[in-house]
Amino acid sequence: MASLIEQAAARLEQLRQAGVVLPESSAAGARPAVEPVPVVPQPATAPAGTSAPTAAAAVSPPARVPGAVRSKQVELDFDALGAMGLITPNAPRTRMADQYRVIKRPLIKNAVGQGAATLNHANLIMVTSALAGEGKSFTSLNLAMSIAAELDHTVMLVDADVARPSLLRMLGLPPGPGLLDVLEGQTDLSEVLLRTNIDKLTLLPSGTPQPRATELLASDAMRALLDDMAKRYPDRIILFDSPPLLLTTESRVLASHMGQIVVVVHAEATPQAAVQQALATIESCPVKMMVLNQARSDEAGAYGYGYGYGYGYGYGYGHEEADAPSR
């Protein structure tokens, strides 16, 4: 019978022939140092007729965390917007920009509770008109741009003209999901908001058109959404570009949730009877203001003329320059 040393030597020779590299210090009588070999678990054999899951399929996706979705970032072309007559950041001071400062000041004052009365949802402001083509969307955009220049407030501009949305088109942006999709439960608000390259301006598109738009705007989901929007960010002012009051029912439904309403009137074009009829549809709103659009300036360069009807508060009238683009 071979000695233990001979048996060890024979075993070492077998290991060398098998290609195992041994430490230099290993001697014939020394016990070779063996590194621990990690054990790789093998997948269980799948039953006949099925395939074993791949590594990618075996990993479960991370759970969705509410509020973790970031809004999409979009870039606004300031040069193109300026060419359309819109107010843009860092643009030279103009008379029209000053006029929008006059318009926004009482709206902001009411929104923060410093107005003549305490209002519910005071930071929800609807911009509308009696008829189409009076410049409400143009006014909504300029008012949003002006408020975004404020140091202490942010602004969300909502395209609530669900029948004929125009804000994204005016801003050079493609259509996408928005307000109606949120109301239908198809997506969350955070997923459809558009952050812009103006730090304090956020956009909410109208969303996918569908025939039940009026019912959605009048639903409990809409009331809950507006209440959340009004109270979530106390420094945020939310502007709604609404359909004309006399052409659709959506604007009248939306008006019932607003704290303030701005009515845009096309100077020398909108019949007085149409304005009065439009005002009658929103008489329940405590604060109604009017902007006279496309008014002509006098020879001295003063602000254009305006007219009112003694409703709501008697302040906040503003007028655009005669050469401002028609919208």
3-state secondary structure 9-67: HHHHHHHHHCCCCCCCCCCCCCCCCCCCCCCCCCCCCCCCCCCCCCHHHHCCCCCCCCC
Task: Annotate 160-228 with DSSP letters as a single string.
Answer: ---SS--HHHHTT------HHHHHTTSS-HHHH-EE-SSTTEEEE---S--TTHHHHHTSHHHHHHHHH
Average pLDDT over the chain reads: 78
275: pLDDT confidence band, cut at 50, 70 and 90? very high
Q: What is the mean pLDDT of residues 292-309?
A: 51
Q: For residue 247, is pLDDT > 80?
A: yes
Which pLDDT value is given to residue 295?
A: 82
Mean pLDDT of 79-85: 93
Confidence of residue 22 (pLDDT cuts 50, 70, 90): low
Q: Write down the pLDDT at residue 18.
A: 66
Res. 243: pLDDT tops 70: yes
Place of tokens 């819109």: 86
String of b and e for 150-162 (b: at least 16 CB within 10 Å)? Answer: eeebbbbbbbbbb
Q: How far apart are CA 124 and CA 114, in angstroms?
A: 15
Q: Do residues 153 and 237 lie in contact, with contact meaning Cβ atoms separated by under 8 Å?
A: yes
Mean pLDDT confidence for 3-9: 69
How many percent of the chain have pLDDT more than 90?
54
Strand partners, 236: 154
Residue-wise pLDDT for 177-188, tens only, equals 999 999 999 999
Q: Are 146 and 100 in contact (CB under 8 A)?
A: yes
**Nearest Cα to Cα of residue 190 among 65, 62, 60, 61:** 65
Higher pLDDT, 57 or 277: 277
pLDDT of residue 82: 93
* Beta bridge mates, 239: 125, 157
pLDDT at 175 over 90: yes
Least confident stretch, 66-70, 134-138, 265-269: 66-70
| pLDDT score for 54 | 40
| Average confidence (pLDDT) over 53-66 | 40
Quick check: 97 and 146 in contact, CB under 8 A? yes
Q: Tell me, what's the pLDDT at 69?
A: 54
Percent of the chain with pLDDT over 70: 72
Match 């060398």 to its residue by tokens.
16
The residue to which tokens 């020394």 are assigned:
30
